Amino acid sequence: MPKMVALTASLAVLALSLPRISHASTLRVRQSPSTPAIPGTAFKFLGCFTDQGARSLGGATFTNTTGMTVESCIAFCSAQSFNFAGLEFAQECWCGNEIANGGTNATLSDCNSPCTGDASEICGAGNRLSVYWNGVQPPPPPTVVPSVGLWESLGCYNDSVNARALPTGVNVPGNFTVEGCTEACFEADFPLAGMEFADQCFCSTAIANGGAPIAASLCNMACAGNSTELCGGPNALNVYNFTGTITGTPGVPPGGGPGTGPVLVNPVTSGLPNNFTYAACYVDNANGRIMGTQNPDDQGLTVESCVTSCHSQNFTLAGMEFGVQCFCGNTLIDGATVGDESTCNMACGGNSQEACGGPNRLSVYTSSGSVVALPVPTPKNSSLPGQWEYQGCLQEGPNGARLFPNEIVQQTNNTVEFCLNQCAAFGYPAAGLEFGQECYCGDVSDIAQSPGFAPESDCNIPCPGDPIHLCGGGDRLQYYTWNGVMNDWKTPANTGRYEFLVPGVVVPLLVTLGINNKVSFVEKFGTSEFPNSTGAYELDLSLVDDFEKTWRTMHVKSDVFCSGAVVLPDRSARHLMFGGWSLDSTFGVRLYAPDGSPGVNGTNDWEENFDELHLQRGRWYPSGLVMPNGSVLIVGGEVGSNGAPEPTLEILPTPQGGPTYLFMDWLNRTDPNNLYPFLHVLPSGNIFVGYYNEARILNPATFDTIKTLPNMPGSVINPFDGKAGGRTYPLEGTAVLFPQHAPYTDPLTVLVCGGSNFGLALDNCVSIQPEVDGADWVLEPIASSHDVHALPDGTFLLVNGAKQGVAGFGLATDPNLQALLYDPTQAVGSRISILNETIVARLYHSESTLLPDGRVLISGSDPQSPQFPEEMRVEVYIPPYLTDGRKQPSFTVDQKDWTYGGSYTIHVQLFQGTTSTMRVSLIAGNAMGMRTLFPEFSCNGNTCTVVAPPNVFVAPPGWFSLWVLDGPTPSHLNWVRIGGDPGELGNWPDFPDFTLPGMGPPA
């Protein structure tokens, strides 16, 4: 089954255009889409472009491995009067005045590497450029110079590094041009001149080694010193013939190449910095490049500058080639052999007396006194980890398309073992290595677009971390597959189903089931698309066949957009909603006491008065948690929509004594990717908090950190780096607790599913037992990831979301339509069952809510993108436990206000099994703080005694839905309150505009 990924999110796609070409943007913003322009400049995002072989942007360049940003690259290129700026490999900046050498639009998702200096920005990817343009039209494309004096163009000819069509290479002083190359060949008395790869000049008396005319389009590279002239291409020569008379004998001019004349340059044999000494002249490119790291070409290269550069990069070998090229490494690779010293006879561009290699010849220097030359690399097809098997050299997709979605770039240490182990750890049964430094992970089905296997000789690039083995080639994958079952995902015959329930009246932001068994909907009042919206409505599930009666109109007074919510433990089970969109609404505290009954309207409404009651700090996207002492913890958020961080926490009811909110440096440091943090009470009474890709345990009295937990693994691309994935909003995963079973002595497990790596959603769940010594996260791949909701049988339903993007308006595409079931009783890797599909996209602002009969209400979706309109339809998912033909059990409960450790009577009616196979479960909370308990019980006939949980740490005070399961089939719920109202919230807030339920047992 192919992997799918999802989250409640979406990704902005903003279009620009150039003549003849359409482009689009992948700039990420968390909420409203904005113009992808760089403030203070005319540069705008143009698109994702290929950069393979010859450079698409061939001007100035720099690399910043820790601080690259879009802004710094544009500033660099703009300062040098370039009109295009491109970012690649997360850390490289390239400039130019045109997109050259066949650079073309690539799929937007190909550019997916976060910038090293700003993880919210994208800096291309391997062989992909994120290109920005200032609107200045590119200059006319370079053309063939028809003649230079008596030199006449013969056209474009093929060439090979192993058998040169024009065998003699010469150095061209100054800027490289057609005129310069022909002049150099004339000075050496050769009648033929050829320019290749923008800055290489060759001469000869005749065309040799099968050189012949080829398509003119293959000579497509502008001369390095004159962008209006063509100077060949990769393995392609622009050839010129001298039509006059040459009277001298062809030979090698000073600083020339490997001709028949005397060698006029020499290696440097003494006085080099950092203990470098000359080793020998080595043959390059007989089997491939013999040194793995190449510096940018330098027309002023010297032996001294090259060895200094290599030493600064911690390399022990330095090599110079073709007069202007500097290579570094610690070993020679690809079967390097010593060549004739006379063939390293090209003068260094910066010193005409020093030898800097020649065509396919390297002048090699060493700082260790020795040179290790490794054999020709071969495919690694034995001693592979796990159950991996080598399949062959596989072609990438047509037109440069990548077969696998997940790319890991290891520029200096990529190995087959690393790649295979990384893919296996994240549940990918197919892996490929390419261009030496690239590792790809995916599914076997991903290779469907490949034209097929290529000759083994096409995979010819050694692994930088293991140079005796191959890591693919140009657009060729060293392809491996897992021989066995890696992800044991179930495909049951009974998958349950989606059903349409009722037309909606708004797109809700918060959906909560009340103890009146009705569903509260609240929406973005004030910023709603519907001018007549009152911001709140209640759905009577018993009247869904009568649209006019099923919805009750309610009211809020401020914009609840992006607020948080919990259910209070007071006797009325009031809904508490806090925070909001902007200004006063971010301080909002709103309360609603559910009333009425199925078929009978209630009269209560939302109560709110900013002047009487408000938060200490305004909050957009905060989380809340009912504490063991009955108070409510409010954590995090921002100061209004996309505003400054609000890295604090506070308590409701607000304690006496002035401001009591507390600053948290870990919230400040991880904004803006820590919103809606995950909060749970642990069995010790301490507080678990998960935020971005981090987690910690807090003291519930001081909120000091007791224990910092390991970072949550994220994307396979770089699992522990925040740039490769986060879990809380806007990356929008979900956290729940594994069910706890009486006597509640097993360690508690926290499960987190979904999130995003800023491009693709995370297709995994991670879990941890935070209070176990040495606890670490366990990663398990899943077929997709999205909202997670507890079910009465102890399993979890996964629904909604998208496979790409992050949460926010217009920030995701590719909706997830398939439901999954997660069973924590199964072994890791075998917990997922593939359920049914819907036809309704549920993206940003979608919800799942457990209903009184065991169905799950599916609502919302408001991505504000043209292809995904606001979704008003309300569905239900009917889990498999309700679609196997069994009749649901029923029960009554004698008392609904339970104390810790008490025994309480229920009366059950079962239709399939007996009480010996019956189970009882309790579920608390909405999306914030949800937990499932399986209490101890005993039965005498159909009368059973249920023992309440033992303390406030196992079950924080609050309202629980109580369920009976007859085998797999749940009953309808009954409501019970456990632990009373220790915070005396029933008497809060004591203001005229709020109705107090008071203390005492529920009505």
Q: What is the pLDDT of residues 53-110, one digit of tens each?
A: 567 887 778 877 778 899 999 999 988 888 999 998 888 898 988 888 778 888 888 8
Can you tell me the distance from the alpha carbon of 328 to that of 232, in angstroms, rounded to the nearest whole number? 27
- Average of per-residue pLDDT across 497-514: 96
Which tokens in the block code for residue 201?
């000049």
Q: What is the pLDDT of residue 724?
A: 66
DSSP 928-943: SS-EEEE--EEEETTE
- Give the three-state DSSP class for 327: strand
761 has pLDDT over 90: no
* Cβ atoms 841, 866 nearer than 8 A: no
**What is the distance in angstroms between the CA of the first residue and the CA of the last residue of the chain?**
51
Please give the full DSSP string across 112-173, using - where no structure is assigned.
-PEETTEEEEE--BTTEEEEEE-SPPPPPPPB---EETTEEEEEEEE--SSS-SS-EEE---
Residue type, 198: A
Higher confidence at residue 567 or residue 323?
567
pLDDT value at residue 198: 84
Averaged pLDDT for residues 983-988: 98
Burial of 984 (0-12, 13-18, 19+ CB in 10 A): middle
Q: Tens digit of pLDDT for each residue in 323-365?
A: 889 999 999 988 899 999 988 988 888 888 899 998 889 999 9
| Choice between 731 and 195, residue whose per-residue pLDDT is larger | 195
DSSP-assigned letters across all residues of 874-903: EEEEE-GGGSSSPPPPEEEES-SEE-TT-E
Is pLDDT above 60 for 385?
A: yes
Question: Side chain identity at 543, as an amino acid letter?
Answer: L
What are 207-251's pLDDT values in tens digits? 999 999 999 999 988 888 888 899 998 889 999 999 999 988 887
| Token digits of residue 410 | 């290891």
Q: Which helix (H) or strand (E) holds 318?
A: strand 317-321
pLDDT at 253 over 60: no
Q: Which of 691, 686, 688 is nearest to 621 (CA)?
A: 691
- pLDDT value for 764: 92
| pLDDT tier at 723, thresholds 50, 70, 90 | low
Check residue 261 and report its DSSP letter: S
Which residues touch 861 (CB under 8 Å, ≥6 apart)? 507, 800, 840, 841, 842, 843, 844, 845, 846, 868, 870, 871
User: What's the pLDDT score for residue 987?
Assistant: 98
pLDDT at residue 275 is higher than 70: yes
Amino acid at site 168: T
The pLDDT, as a whole number, for residue 927 is 61
Peptide bond before residue 743 is cis, with ω within 30 degrees of 0: yes
**480 has a pLDDT exceeding 80:** yes
pLDDT number for residue 303: 97
The pTM (predicted TM-score) of the whole model is 0.71
- Mean pLDDT, all residues of the chain: 89
Provide the b/e sequence for 37-59 (b: ≥16 CB within 10 Å). bbeeeebbbbbbbbbbbbbbbbb
What is the arithmetic mean of pLDDT over 528-556? 93
**Alpha carbons 319 and 362: distance in angstroms, whole number:** 5
The 3-state DSSP class for residue 363 equals strand
Cα–Cα dist 99/385, whole Å: 42
| pLDDT bracket for residue 721 (50, 70, 90) | low
Over residues 545-549, the mean pLDDT reads 96
DSSP labels for 821-835? EE-TTSPTTS-EEEE
pLDDT(879) > 90: yes
User: Could you give phi then psi for residue 185, rounded to 5 degrees?
Assistant: -70, -35
Q: What is the pLDDT of residue 160?
A: 83
Residue 867 pLDDT? 85
Percent of residues, the chain, with pLDDT higher than 70: 94
pLDDT value of position 260: 33
Indicate the pLDDT class of residue 865, thresholds 50, 70 and 90: confident
Distances (CA, A) of 698 to 72, 664, 688, 958: 39, 11, 6, 21
Name the fold adopted by 890-985.
Immunoglobulin-like (2.60.40)
Contact partners, residue 795, CB within 8 Å, separation at least 6: 821, 822, 823, 824
Q: What is the mean pLDDT of residues 138-158?
A: 93
pLDDT of residue 553: 97
- In degrees rounded to 5, what are phi and psi of residue 519? -110, 120
Say what the pLDDT of residue 449 is. Answer: 93
Tell me the pairing of strands 897-898 and 974-978.
parallel
Peptide bond into 970 cis (omega under 30): no
Contacts 24+ apart (CB under 8 A), 657-662: 659/616, 660/616, 661/616, 661/617, 662/703
Predicted confidence (pLDDT) at residue 835 exceeds the cutoff of 60:
yes
State mean pLDDT over 557-563: 93
Question: Rounded CA gap, 504 and 445, in Å?
Answer: 39
Beta partners for residue 230, in sequence order: 222
Cα 990 from chain centroid (whole Å): 47
3-state helix, strand and coil shares in percent for the chain, rounded to the nearest 5: 10, 35, 55
245 vs 265: which has the higher pLDDT: 245
**CA-CA distance, 868 to 188, in Å (whole number)?**
68
CA-to-CA separations, 49 to 15, 135, 651, 927, in angstroms, rounded: 15, 17, 51, 41
Q: Where are the beta strands (DSSP E) in 631-785?
A: 632-635, 648-652, 662-663, 678-681, 687-691, 694-698, 705-708, 733-737, 740-741, 750-754, 764-768, 778-781
Q: Which residues, other chains included, contact 685 with Cβ-Cβ below 8 Å and sequence gap of 6+?
A: 628, 700, 952, 953
pLDDT tens, position by position, 451-465: 999 999 999 888 989
- pLDDT greater than 50 at residue 2: no
Question: Is pLDDT of 203 > 80?
Answer: yes
pLDDT for the residue numbered 345:
83
Q: What's residue 252's pLDDT?
A: 61
Residue 30 has pLDDT above 50, yes or no: no
Measured in degrees and rounded to the nearest 5, phi and psi for residue 160 equal -145, 140
- Can you tell me the distance from the alpha carbon of 107 to that of 110, in angstroms, rounded to the nearest whole number? 5
* pLDDT score of 520 more than 50: yes
pLDDT score recorded for residue 18: 27
> E strands, 356-496, where?
361-366, 388-395, 406-409, 430-434, 438-442, 462-463, 466-470, 476-482
Domain ranges of the chain: 15-133, 147-242, 273-366, 399-482, 890-985
Q: Are 451 and 477 in contact (CB under 8 A)?
A: no
DSSP SS3 for 232:
coil
Residues whose CB is less than 8 angstroms from the CB of residue 630 and which lie 6 or more positions away in sequence, other chains included: 569, 957, 979, 981, 982, 983, 984, 985
Predicted local distance difference test score (pLDDT) of residue 771: 98
Q: What per-residue confidence (pLDDT) applies to 897?
A: 98
CA atoms of 1000 and 987, how far apart (whole Å): 11
- Is residue 580 within 8 A of residue 565, CB to CB? The reply is no
Q: Residue 324: what pLDDT?
A: 87
Question: For the residues 948-969, what does the mean pLDDT come to?
Answer: 98
Q: Which of 10-19, 484-493, 869-878 has the lowest mean pLDDT?
A: 10-19
Residue 718 pLDDT grade (very low, low, confident, very high; cuts 50, 70, 90): confident
Report the C-alpha gap between 482 and 477 in whole angstroms.
Answer: 16
